[in-house]
Structure 1
């Protein structure tokens, strides 16, 4: 997992709880340091340990925490990848172009990273099918990011996001509809 994502998880915990909660979470996860370098790639198991421990500490299921974290990530991701976003894009256009624009840039610019593969099919003017593929099995994070994009583009009240397969699978199908 890329250090920038773990640092955003740290900020998510600090914003929703506090810094001492982050330190306790790291300790209970069995990790040796609470600091993660932004440009370093860490073993996925460290992220899984943090999310699993956070679920245990809060009583909130891991999938729900991943969704909330995904929503939280969007403003920072949009800031970092702003140069790849075309004027006039909305939520659906952003989702359609994420694989080539953002994930392509990540794979090209940050060696060792493995963002999920997104296969997006436009079903109609107002509907997409997103097939998420990743050995990390974090489809709930993708659902949260899609919801966060709808909020970012001021379309949260118009966009419906529904995983039609289990969110913890290696392949997850997500339906996105604009009302």
Structure 2
């Protein structure tokens, strides 16, 4: 997993919970806390940090992941090579992530394994999207979808349905509820 995911997570934890909680999270996870945005790290280390933070704050790990996804969206948007998003809306941008961004990430980082999105049942106001990832971070994806809708000034209702026990396949049903 690319280091920007880790560095942004740490920044969000420090901003939302403070330096003491951040340090306690690292201590409890037996983690040095040393990450660079351009490095590559095992995603299980991020899960370990999230679980530690959940234990410290008594906030469910799923809620922390979703909040992280929502808050990290603007930083990821700035960091990624995304052409012509001025005329996009939430649905067009989400499709562009799969059709363009994930392909470009693979070109830049051949070892990267971005999630796979499969779209179905798309209308002007609804979309069904299947998320496939061995990292099983559907709640982060849900937060990213919320962050995307916020960025494009749209209201979005999202339902999330795990399609298997480990949640490596999750189905999202998205409905635009207003502009």
Same fold by TM-score, threshold 0.5 exceeded?
A: yes
Shift of 1:79: 1.1
**Across the two proteins, how many residue pairs are aligned to each other?**
176
Give 1:83 shift: 3.4
- Matching residue of 2:157: 160
Separation (CA, whole Å) in 1 of partners of 2:44 and 2:161: 26
C-alpha contact 1:95 1:120 (8 A) present in aligned 2: no
| Matched ranges for 1:121-132 at <5 A | 121-132=120-131
Q: Is the 8 A contact 1:41 1:112 kept in 2?
A: no
Q: Deviations over 1:58-97 (max 9, x none)?
A: 1111111100000001111111225334331011111111
2:40 and 2:141 mapped to 1: Cα distance? 20
Matched residues in 2 for 1:146 and 1:115: separation?
A: 16
SS in 1 for 2:88: coil
Q: Which residue of 1 aligns with 2:170?
A: 172
Q: Cα 1:24–1:12, aligned 2, differ >3 Å: closer, same or farther?
A: same
- For structure 2, the residue ranges without an aligned partner over 5 or more in a row are none
The answer (yes or no) to whether the contact 1:14–1:21 under 8 Å persists in 2 is yes
Partners of 1:81 and 1:41 in 2: CA distance: 16
Distance in 2 between residues matched to 1:85 and 1:61, nearest whole Å: 37
The CA RMSD measured in Å over matched residues stands at: 1.7
Gaps of 5+ in 1: none
List 4+ stretches of structure 1 deviating above 4 A. Answer: none
**Is the alpha carbon distance of 1:50 and 1:107 closer, same or farther for their aligned partners in structure 2, counting shifts above 3 Å?**
same
Q: Would you say the 8 A contact 2:118–2:130 is kept in 1? A: yes
1:7 aligns with: 7
Deviation, 1:129, is 0.8
1:84–1:102 Cα contact (<8 Å) kept? no
- Alignment partners' CA distance in 2, 1:67 and 1:100: 23
Displacement after TM superposition at 1:2 (Å):
1.4
Within 5 Å, give how 1:94-173 maps onto structure 2. Answer: 94-155=93-154, 158-165=155-162, 169-173=167-171
Match of 1:90 in 2: 89
- What does residue 51 of structure 1 align with? 50
Q: Does 1:65 align with 2:92?
A: no
